[in-house]
Amino acid sequence: EAGVTQSPRYAVLQEGQAVSFWCDPISGHDTLYWYQQPRDQGPQLLVYFRDEAVIDNSQLPSDRFSAVRPKGTNSTLKIQSAKQGDTATYLCASSPGLGANYAEQFFGPGTRLTVL
Amino acid sequence: GEKVEQHESTLSVREGDSAVINCTYTDTASSYFPWYKQEAGKSLHFVIDIRSNVDRKQSQRLIVLLDKKAKRFSLHITATQPEDSAIYFCAASISNTNKVVFGTGTRLQVLP
């Protein structure tokens, strides 16, 4: 079974530039998460979807960040105007959503973003 | 909202000894407590979990204990091996949601 895939693996930007991150979850997983993991910290939830619907985006800085999952499969996270404080690894995870292990999450390799 | 505190930021043990990582949570509605491991340069992967209907769960050398009254849970790694060296994250999830709140991580170093 293929795991969660993310691209790009690395991104380096100047402040003010835009960047998009792409995630392909495990086939059949209806729940998809985006996390921000600053260096030496735990993952912090930005947004999560069940199918194409946003369930919780309360921690997503809505003035500059956006996330979509239009067909309930792949997802894109976009930063419109990056700031140095956005420097972090962006992790995508998916989970089956049903059954005994409904909350177990499978993580992708992450995109390491550096904003200069 | 839920807050998860992980008490040890770093932990060093000798190979063969046991390691214990402690976490506390704030929301009494939390009912699912997974643990994830992050090896150097890699992403997180699930290692073990416990649900609030039990207070102990074991999987090979890993034991998770849950004290709901104290809102505390812990990961015990017995007979540690060098490959156990990693960052371990505890997490908590409220019943009937898929939202998981992570702790800040404990860097475990198993010394030869």
Taking residues A27-31, what's their average pLDDT?
A: 91
pLDDT at B27: 93
Taking residues A14-33, what's their average pLDDT?
A: 95
pLDDT at A77: 98
Could you give the CA distance from residue B44 to residue B38 in angstroms, rounded to a whole number? 5
| Mean pLDDT computed over every residue of chain B | 94
pLDDT at B22: 97
Ramachandran area for residue B105 (φ above 0: left; ψ -120 to 50: alpha; else beta): left
pLDDT in tens, B11-65: 999 999 999 999 999 999 999 999 999 999 888 999 999 999 999 999 999 999 9
Q: Is the predicted pLDDT of residue B96 greater than 90, yes or no?
A: no
B5-35 per-residue burial string, b: 16 or more CB within 10 A, e: under 16: ebbeeebebeeeeebbbbbbbebeebbbbbb
Q: Is the predicted pLDDT of residue B98 greater than 90, yes or no?
A: no
Could you give the CA distance from residue A80 to residue A63 in angstroms, rounded to a whole number? 8
Could you give the CA distance from residue A43 to residue A107 in angstroms, rounded to a whole number? 11
Best of B32, B52, B98, B101 to disrupt the A interface (most A CBs within 10 Å) is B98
| Mean pLDDT computed over every residue of chain A | 92
Best of A105, A106, A111, A112 to disrupt the B interface (most B CBs within 10 Å) is A105
pLDDT at A40: 85
Q: Are B43 and A31 in contact (CB < 8 Å)?
A: no
In this complex, the residue of B43, B49, B102 whose CB is nearest that of residue A104 is: B49
Q: Is the predicted pLDDT of residue A102 greater than 70, yes or no?
A: no
Joined tokens for residue A104: 């177990």
pLDDT at A116: 95
Shortest CA distance from B6: residue in chain A: A42
Q: Is the predicted pLDDT of residue A1 greater than 80, yes or no?
A: no
Could you give the CA distance from residue A45 to residue A36 in angstroms, rounded to a whole number? 6
Could you give the CA distance from residue B6 to residue B90 in angstroms, rounded to a whole number? 7
Please state, as a whole number, how many other Cβ atoms lie within 10 Å of the Cβ of residue A115. Answer: 19
Q: How many CB pairs under 8 A join A and B?
A: 54
pLDDT at A99: 57
pLDDT at A2: 79
Contact yes or no for B50/B31 (Cβ under 8 A): no
pLDDT band at residue B84 under the 50/70/90 scheme:
very high
Taking residues B63-85, what's their average pLDDT?
A: 97
pLDDT at B94: 80
pLDDT in tens, A37-85: 998 889 999 999 999 999 999 999 889 999 999 988 999 999 999 999 9
Taking residues B62-75, what's their average pLDDT?
A: 97
